[in-house]
């Protein structure tokens, strides 16, 4: 199973991905988590992306595609992958198709978590208070939402055209969203 969990920052992608990891043994591939880990470790990559992430801009396609490629090789034979926060541009989506095709696989589903902007703003304000993530501050968040609308949302017609796009109401509570996601995965 190759599932892309899709939605703006704050839609609940990470929360749902973590449920699927514990319930189905899938591997969560969050490029945001990988980049944050690189920063924490003080690696050259981490230092390179720090400023870009703090502003709320996207890091280069080349960097995140290489991270995903590496992870796919590291986890061979697992029951599934959840792509969380990747792909975020058309170039990344096309690269993902190529990476998967090279392994005899494809994207099975893209599940879009639908949440309105007012709810996103509220959720991110709470997360900023609780976790203190630099890029959740209101200025950076506005940039992230803009990047989503400009660079990432256009992937929806790409995946719709492939017949793999499903939409779930991300305004529901966590259990209800998880139930809806599960029902989609069981269609396969």
The C-alpha torsion from 35 through 39 and 43 to 49, rounded to 10°, is 60
Does 148 sit near ligand AMP (CB under 6 A)?
Answer: no
Is the previous residue joined to 87 through a cis bond, with omega within 30 degrees of 0? yes
Instruction: Extract the tokens encoding 112.
Output: 């879009």
CB of 187 to ligand AMP, least distance (A): 26
Whether the CB-CB separation of 120 and 145 falls below 8 Å is answered with yes
Does 59 sit near ligand AMP (CB under 6 A)?
Answer: yes
Q: Which residue is nearest to ligand AMP (CB)?
A: 32
Told to judge if 123 belongs to the known catalytic residues of this protein, a careful annotator would answer no
Distance separating alpha carbons of residues 44 and 184, to the nearest angstrom: 40
Which one, of 57, 70, 169, 66, lies nearest residue 112 by Cα?
169
Is the Cβ of residue 47 or residue 183 nearer to ligand AMP in the bound state? 47
Instruction: Extract the tokens encoding 130.
Output: 């609780």
Does 52 sit near ligand AMP (CB under 6 A)?
Answer: yes
Q: Which of 9, 12, 80, 170 binds ligand AMP (CB under 6 A)?
A: 9
Does 92 sit near ligand AMP (CB under 6 A)?
Answer: yes
CB of 9 to ligand AMP, least distance (A): 5
What are the DSSP calls for 25-38, one per residue?
Answer: -PEEEEHHHHHHHH
Is the Cβ of residue 6 or residue 179 nearer to ligand AMP in the bound state? 6
CB of 128 to ligand AMP, least distance (A): 13
Told to judge if 36 belongs to the known catalytic residues of this protein, a careful annotator would answer no
What's the number of CA atoms in the CB half-sphere (13 Å) around residue 16?
Answer: 33
CB of 142 to ligand AMP, least distance (A): 12
Does 88 sit near ligand AMP (CB under 6 A)?
Answer: yes
């Amino acid at each position: 199973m190759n599932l892309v969990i899709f939605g703006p920052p704050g839609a609940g992608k990470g929360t749902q991905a973590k449920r699927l990891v514990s319930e189905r043994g899938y591997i969560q591939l969050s490029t945001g988590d990988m980049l944050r880990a690189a920063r924490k470790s003080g690696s050259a990559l981490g230092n390179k992306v720090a400023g870009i992430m703090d502003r709320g801009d996207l890091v280069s396609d080349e960097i995140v595609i290489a991270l995903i490629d590496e992870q796919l090789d590291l986890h061979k034979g697992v029951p599934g992958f959840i792509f969380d926060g990747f792909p975020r541009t058309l170039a990344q989506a096309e690269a993902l198709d190529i990476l998967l095709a090279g392994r005899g696989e494809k994207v099975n589903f893209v599940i879009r978590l639908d949440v309105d902007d007012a709810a996103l703003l509220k959720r991110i304000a709470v997360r900023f208070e609780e976790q203190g993530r630099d890029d959740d501050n209101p200025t950076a968040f506005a940039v992230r939402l803009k990047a989503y609308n400009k660079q990432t949302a256009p992937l929806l017609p790409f995946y719709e055209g492939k017949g793999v796009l499903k939409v779930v109401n991300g305004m529901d509570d966590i259990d209800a969203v998880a139930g809806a996601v599960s029902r989609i995965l069981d269609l396969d």
